[in-house]
């Protein structure tokens, strides 16, 4: 099993670029940069798409332009077109329940209140895709969550989030090749 599609969740537009909710976009942009891929708007996939070659594997990167809560439409359209199975998809998203500086990988599971994941599960009609969860921390008050994810992290938090993104990029080849146990060991022992 190899990963053929990596989806970064986020909201399109300059106004959202620096927000915590866009860490999925940040990861895909960094990955494209690392492997000299270039994003192009693809109307039929409701998103921006790049193609990269990671030793031995051709991988598509997707940044949906549907806004977070409708991410699934974009993912479903590209997965159907290229006949990509759910277990060949890695979705990268912000995670409130993990501290900044920590990244964790997970296969399957629920949406944990994340609307981008909720819509993806609904559109794909399965939970059987992989997730790279980038910790952004929690505002400690449930009523503040929407406001929290739609704001930029502090300078200190941003540095930690960038560390987590960097750690994740270092194990991307393992992720692509489906060596999740090894990747988990590397990422999850960082705490």
Active site residues: 21
Q: Please choose, from the candidates 24, 136, 4, 30, the residue with its C-alpha nearest in 3D space to the C-alpha of residue 91.
A: 24
Query: Hey, what are 156's tokens?
Result: 């200190």
Within the chain, residue ranges assigned H as helices are: 23-34, 71-81, 115-124, 145-149, 155-170, 172-176, 180-188
- β-strand 57-64 against 47-54: which pairing, if any? antiparallel
Dihedral of CA atoms 35, 55, 72, 105 in degrees, nearest 10, equals -100
Instruction: Report the distance separating Cα 113 and Cα 27, nearest Å.
Output: 21
């Amino acid at each position: 099993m190899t990963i053929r599609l990596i989806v970064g969740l986020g909201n399109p537009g300059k106004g959202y670029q620096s927000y915590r909710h866009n860490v999925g976009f940040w990861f895909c942009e960094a990955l494209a940069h690392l492997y000299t891929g270039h994003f192009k708007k693809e109307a039929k996939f409701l998103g921006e798409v790049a193609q990269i070659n990671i030793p031995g594997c051709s991988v598509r990167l997707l940044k949906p332009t549907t806004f977070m809560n409708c991410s699934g439409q974009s993912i479903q359209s590209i997965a159907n077109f290229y006949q990509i199975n759910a277990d060949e998809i890695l979705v990268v998203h912000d995670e409130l329940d993990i501290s900044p500086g920590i990244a964790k990988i997970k296969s399957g599971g629920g949406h944990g209140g994340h609307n981008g994941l909720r819509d993806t599960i609904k559109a794909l009609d399965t939970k059987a895709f992989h997730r790279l969860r980038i910790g952004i921390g929690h505002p400690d008050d449930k009523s503040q969550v929407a406001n929290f994810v739609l704001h930029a992290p502090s300078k200190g938090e941003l540095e930690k989030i960038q560390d987590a993104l960097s750690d994740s990029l270092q194990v991307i080849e393992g992720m692509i090749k489906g060596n999740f146990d090894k990747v988990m060991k590397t990422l999850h022992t960082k705490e």
